Amino acid sequence: MDALVNNFQPLLLAQLKSGDYVGFTFFIGSMAMAAATVFFFFQFSQVKGKWKDSMLVSGLITFIAAVHYFYMRDFWATNQASPTEFRYIDWILTVPLMCVEFYLILRAFGAKVGLLWKMIFYSVVMLVAGYLGETVFRDASPLWGFISTIGYAGILYEVWMGSAKRLSNNSNDPILQKGFNALAWFVFAGWAIYPIGYMTIETGWLAGLIPAESMDIIYNIGDAVNKIGFGLVIYSLAVSKSAQGAEQHVEAGAGKATTNA
């Protein structure tokens, strides 16, 4: 029996200890992401046409996060240290997918792939700089945080003032605009949670004010708010637009019936 357990030791997950609150938030994060994924994939069949693409991407974002959270929880429980690599690999996959969500909802109103690439480029600058500031150049974390913020500002500019905003304005579609504005608020207020976590590291501007252990808690809260919240906005937009499409269909059908009669 002992031999059996020992053979399978590498497959057993590290246990969370009582009082390990950071570990708890990793665990809750993995469950929340998994539950959200099931929800988004199940709702896939409830929406019509191109809205299925948007729902699929929402589900992929939370699915990728769920898998990373599973690994991050284990890494944390084993080492009691931040799973920085898993964290940034998760972000480098999911943040561009969030840019894809913007592109998908604006595509019908003339969004070009160029807009998508521009937003992905800003995301990469933001995340690569953040990673370097947390790892290789930790002593100079404020400088790398600043470079990262330039990438973040680029995304903010696109969705609040740039071409993405203009496409939304020109759409003359109140449902789309409402959804777009909600997503823009997530990028402005929700994404601003992350720099707060970053600044708690020992070379950061908030070092001493907020304990450094809170970084992962802050990132975990940010991920739950942003990945699940973003997906729910897309879901409600997709459902409203699908219902509207169905209504127009019925109206068109009714019109035809009258003409025929």
Ligand X SMILES: *C/C=C(C)/C=C/C=C(C)/C=C/C1=C(C)CCCC1(C)C
Q: Rule CB under 6 A: which residues touch ligand X?
A: 91, 94-95, 126-127, 130, 145, 148-149, 152, 191, 194-195, 198, 223, 226-227
Closest residue to ligand X, judged by C-beta, is 130
In angstroms, the Cα distances linking 239 to 46, 49, 51, 178, 234 are 7, 11, 8, 13, 9
Smaller CB distance to ligand X: residue 101 or 223? 223
Work out how close the CB of 117 gets to ligand X at its nearest, in angstroms, rounded to a whole number.
Answer: 18
Minimum CB distance to ligand X, residue 165 (Å): 18
47 vs 224, beta carbon nearer ligand X: 224
> What is the nearest approach in angstroms of ligand X to the Cβ of residue 250?
38
Which is closer to ligand X, CB of 130 or CB of 179? 130
Residue-wise over 189-211: b if at least 16 C-beta within 10 A, else e?
ebbeebbbbbbbbebbebeeebe
Report in angstroms how near the CB of residue 102 gets to ligand X at its nearest. 12
Closest to ligand X by CB, 204 or 241 = 204
- In the complex, the smallest distance separating the C-beta of residue 212 from ligand X, rounded to whole angstroms, is 14
Q: Which is nearer to ligand X, 49 or 142 (CB)?
A: 142
